[in-house]
DNA sequence: CTGAGCACCTGAGGGC
DNA sequence: TGCCCTCAGGTGCTCA
């Protein structure tokens, strides 16, 4: 599910609920998610106070006063949502955290592709899952020149390469289709053959679609909701994603769907070359 | 090294 | 209703 905008909106929603709060109870209700929980996970979190919030690619990072950092990945179907502590637990509510103010957060993930980790904050830059990630697309150092270097000589389709978190952080299947539409680049183009002029359109196209989605609270299609429980509504603004045979918003040509690397891509055959 | 394919898991929806 | 198939927002592994 969640790509950069959904992770970012979740994180922003967590700040007012968790900032400066001590985690009073932590209950892990499943043996493992995608990976086993770290040793003594619940015990190490209990009584820690949350001091900082950041995001890297699709990872949420919560800094604790215990000098450890909680890493959360939502996988395909994960969500982290405030809940009434009195309401019954769902079978997919895998981790339940209650703060010293009585606020309860539930990590819910039917497909269990998500996971959590807990590690020394000082070792963050060496973390295996974080160290090879490419630039954040909303940061100043994300540029056409970076993409040009990263894509040089690549024969794989640009669609697949933009999903590679080492090339650019945080994009997933929805926003790659939307960004390539915004840039007028066909998803099948070999990465190394995308021109400088096209990359100069692609960078702002990526930034525009991500920022618009964050503003809309992300995309809620199946599982995703914000930390508050509210839905996002960027799904109402898709230009091409999920709109096979529908009219291109620019030229009204029917949108095409194809499968690349086992995943659907959507594009306008007229506007994207 | 690259790129392709599979694996992990549940649930929703369509066709019959 | 029920069964079987396909598909879904991610990513790490193996193999050629």
Q: pLDDT for A66-117, tens place per residue?
A: 999 999 999 999 999 999 999 999 999 999 999 999 999 999 999 999 999 9
Q: What pTM was estimated for this model as a whole?
A: 0.97
Question: Looking at A58, A79, A186, A189, which residue is catalytic?
Answer: A58
> Any atom of strand C under 7 A from CB of A42?
no
The protein footprint on chain C, as nucleotides within 7 A of a CB, is 7-12
Q: Is the pLDDT of residue A195 over 90?
A: yes
Residue with nearest Cα to nucleotide B3 C1': A156
Q: Is the pLDDT of residue A242 over 90?
A: yes
Q: Mean pLDDT of all residues in chain A?
A: 96
> Any atom of strand C under 7 A from CB of A172?
yes
Coil, helix or strand at residue A115:
strand
Question: What are the residues facing A105 on neighbouring strands?
Answer: A82, A97
Say what the pLDDT of residue A1 is: 62
Integer distance in angstroms from CA A136 to C1' B10? 31
Integer distance in angstroms from CA A50 to C1' C6? 43
pLDDT more than 90, % of chain A = 97
Mean pLDDT of A113-138: 96
How far CA A266 is from CA of A120, A155, A173, A256, A273, in Å, comes to 41, 20, 10, 6, 13
Tokens 């000589």 belong to: A153
Mean pLDDT of A147-158: 96
Integer distance in angstroms from CA A149 to C1' C3? 51
């Amino acid at each position: 599910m969640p790509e950069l905008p959904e992770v970012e909106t979740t994180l922003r929603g967590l700040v007012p609920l968790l900032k400066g709060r001590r985690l009073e109870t932590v209950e892990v209700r499943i043996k493992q998610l995608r990976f086993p929980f770290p040793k003594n996970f619940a015990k190490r979190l209990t009584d820690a106070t949350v001091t900082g919030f950041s995001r890297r690619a699709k990872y949420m990072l919560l800094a604790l006063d215990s000098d450890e950092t909680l890493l959360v990945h939502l996988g395909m179907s994960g969500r982290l949502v405030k809940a009434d502590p009195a309401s019954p637990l769902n079978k997919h509510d895998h981790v339940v955290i209650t703060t010293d103010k009585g606020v309860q957060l539930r990590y819910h993930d039917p497909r269990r592709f998500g996971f959590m980790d807990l590690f020394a904050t000082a070792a963050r830059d060496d973390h295996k899952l974080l160290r090879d990630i490419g630039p954040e697309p909303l940061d100043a150092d994300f540029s056409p020149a970076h993409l040009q270097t990263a894509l040089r000589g690549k024969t794989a389709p640009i669609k697949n390469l933009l999903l590679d978190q080492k090339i650019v952080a945080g994009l997933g299947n929805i926003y790659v289709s939307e960004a390539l539409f915004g840039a007028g680049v066909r998803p099948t183009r070999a990465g190394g053959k995308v021109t400088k002029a096209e990359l100069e359109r692609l960078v702002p196209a990526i930034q525009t679609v991500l920022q618009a989605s964050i503003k809309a609270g992300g995309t809620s299609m199946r599982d995703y909701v914000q930390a508050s429980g509210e839905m996002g509504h960027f799904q109402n603004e898709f230009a091409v994603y999920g709109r096979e045979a529908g009219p291109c918003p620019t030229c009204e040509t029917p949108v095409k769907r194809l499968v690349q690397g086992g995943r659907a891509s959507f594009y306008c055959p007229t506007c994207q070359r």
